[in-house]
Amino acid sequence: GDQVIRGEGVVEVEAPSFFDISLRSDSLAVDDDLVSAMSESSRQIVSDFGFKGRAGIQVSVHSTGPGASEVVADVTLAEGSVRHERFPYALQLAEGRLRLVGDHTVKFEGIGTPRDSKPHVVLGGCLTTEGSRRTLSFDFDIKDLEFDEKFKASLPPELARFVSNMKLGGVYDGKI
């Protein structure tokens, strides 16, 4: 197909043994095959956000000590869209980076819609997992988000009541 992945590596079998393997692709489709190769938490993120598209990747699989290893993936968005299961609109993405460290950390940097899109959204933050506990820390910079009925219907019930009772409407610009 149209997937090109380049790799190189070093494996030292004499004591102390170590390995360092690097994989790289300038434009990799995020398809079912790639998603099935991800860790469970990464698959869940892709599923929750409904990501579709292509990304440049740089992956390092390396030893961190006797019998221990770590995977670090740097992902640069090439093109794509997301639609979180709880958000009423798909957002086209134009820029941004993710760093996945092992099965415990995902860092989001400058994930954004095209600058002239409405709404224009830029996301930064981190998702960490320790055991069964997931911690989210997100910063959203939002411009031109219209408070229409479709958007209001997507809000959690308490927030939807607040928005209705305050008769909030119009267009929102701000940071969350």
- Select the more confidently predicted residue: 10 or 129: 10
Nearest-CA neighbor of 90 among 53, 122, 50, 130?
50
- Tell whether the model's pLDDT for residue 1 goes beyond 80: no
Task: Tally the C-alpha atoms within 13 A of residue 117's C-alpha that lie toward its C-beta.
Answer: 17
Percent of the chain predicted with pLDDT > 70: 99
User: Which two structure tokens, joined as six digits, stand for 135?
Assistant: 């911690």
Per-residue pLDDT, averaged over 114-126, amounts to 91
Residue 19 CA: distances (Å) to CA of 37, 59, 62, 100, 123: 20, 14, 5, 19, 34
- Tell whether the model's pLDDT for residue 17 goes beyond 80: yes
- Tell whether the model's pLDDT for residue 23 goes beyond 90: yes
pLDDT, tens digit (0-9, with 9 covering 90-100), for 42-97 = 788 788 888 889 999 999 999 988 888 999 999 999 899 988 877 777 889 989 99
